[in-house]
Each structure stands twice: as C-alpha cells, then as structure tokens.
Amino acid sequence: MFRITMDNIRTCIHGAFGAMTFGVYHQFTTNKIMELNNEKIKRDNEKIHEKIIRDNEKINEKIKRDNEKIHEKLNLKIDQLHKDNEILREYLKKSWWQR
C-alpha cells in the first residue's frame, strides 16, 4: 500500500508552487513581450503615417504647380485665340474687293 508521508506532501507542494511560479513568470514575460511589440508596431505605424502625409503633401504641391502651369498655358492660348478672332473680324469687315 502507498503511504503518504510529509516528504511526499512537501514535494507535491514544492512542485505545485514551482509550476505556478513558472506559469506566472511565463505569463508575465509573454504579456511584456506583447506590450513591447504593440508599442513598436504603434511607433512604426505612426512613422508610416507621417511619411504618407509628407508624401501626400509633396504630391499635392506638384499637382498644384502642374495645374498652375496648365492654367497659364490655357490663358495664353485663350489670349491668342482672342487676338486671332479680332484679326479675323477685321478681315471679314472688309469687302471682298478690298481683300
């Protein structure tokens, strides 16, 4: 028959205490690692977000400059069309024999 002695009980308690201690330590380190990883991911995401914002601002500035250039070219063409139209009107005002 199996006898339970004080040594057996003490060994079981020490084993259980050791297992609980290891479990708590493991949970603590896992939580700490996850917390540090989440902070790193958050910092990385903030950096990426800031870079996207800077890139967007650069792109918007380039688009704005390009649009201004196009607008200037269009205004020059419109002015030229107005001049050409005036020349044509003057030409058409003349009689066919004066041409």
Residue ranges of domains in the chain: 6-98
CA 21 remoteness from chain centre = 43
Is 14 a residue whose pLDDT tops 70? yes
pLDDT beyond 70 at 4: yes
Question: Which of 5, 28, 25, 6 minimizes the C-alpha distance to 17?
Answer: 25
Which positions ≥6 away from 41 have C-beta within 8 Å? none
| Cα distance between residue 88 and residue 99, in whole Å | 12
Average pLDDT over residues 59-82: 97
Q: What is the pLDDT of residues 43-60, one digit of tens each?
A: 999 999 999 999 999 999
Q: Please name the residues in contact with 91: beta carbons below 8 A apart, sequence gap of 6 or more.
A: 99
